[in-house]
Structure 1
Amino acid sequence: MSTFNERERAFENKYAHDQEMMFKAVARRNKKLGLWAAGLLGKTAQDAEDYAMEVIRSDFEEAGHEDVVRKVSADLGAHADEALIRAKMDEFLSEAKAELSEG
């Protein structure tokens, strides 16, 4: 195999790995967001876990994260505005990435 082919394969493997890690980080972010929102809604521990799974599933409705913002915003109503939800999403994504890089 030529050096070019080896480098191409390495780049493809890195891209696939990066995409997998981002998928995991976003799912983890969504769970954290769901648990945070459930706390604002006063849900019990089991209900909070169930709600977090709903938030994770809502991310599969369309590309991007607007579907998650829409769901959580509608569920929280007056408890939090979209700006706070987006800020929490950024915070939780940073936390999720750090957790995944730690192992």
Structure 2
Amino acid sequence: MTTFDERESAFENKFAHDAEMEFMAESLRDKGIAYWAAEKLGMSTAEAAGYAKNLIKADFSEPGSEVVVRKLVADLKDVADEAEIRAKMDEILEIARKKVFGDEA
């Protein structure tokens, strides 16, 4: 294997690793935002856990996080607006990235 091939392989491995780590951070974000929403909706701990699972499943239904935003906007229509939801998602994602990536984020 040439040096170029080794570098290419290392780059591909890093890309795959970073993509996996970002997926983990986004899953943590979904869980965090679900618990935040559940608290706003006055759900019990058991209800919040189920809500979080459903929200994470919803995120798998289409690429990107817009499906999560739409679900949260619909569910929280009386307690939070879209801007507040997006801001909270961004805040939770940054925290999740720090947990997953450590100091790299």
CA distance in 2, matches of 1:36, 1:77: 14
Task: Give unpaired runs (5+ residues) of structure 1.
Answer: none
CA distance in 2, matches of 1:25, 1:70: 20
Matching residue's letter, 2:61: E
> Number of residues paired by the alignment?
102
Could you say what the CA RMSD is over the residues aligned between the two structures, in angstroms? 0.7
- Residue number in structure 2 paired with 1:87: 87
Matching residue's letter, 1:22: E
Matching residue's letter, 1:11: F
- Matched residue SS, 2:60: coil
Percent of residue pairs bearing the same amino acid type: 53
- Residue number in structure 1 paired with 2:45: 45
Residues 2-43 of structure 1: CA distance to partner in whole angstroms, max 9, x if unpaired? 000000000000000000000000000000000000000000
CA distance in 2, matches of 1:59, 1:79: 22
Following TM superposition, the consecutive aligned residue runs of length 4 or more in structure 1 with deviations greater than 6 angstroms are none
CA distance in 1, matches of 2:93, 2:19: 14
Task: Give unpaired runs (5+ residues) of structure 2.
Answer: none
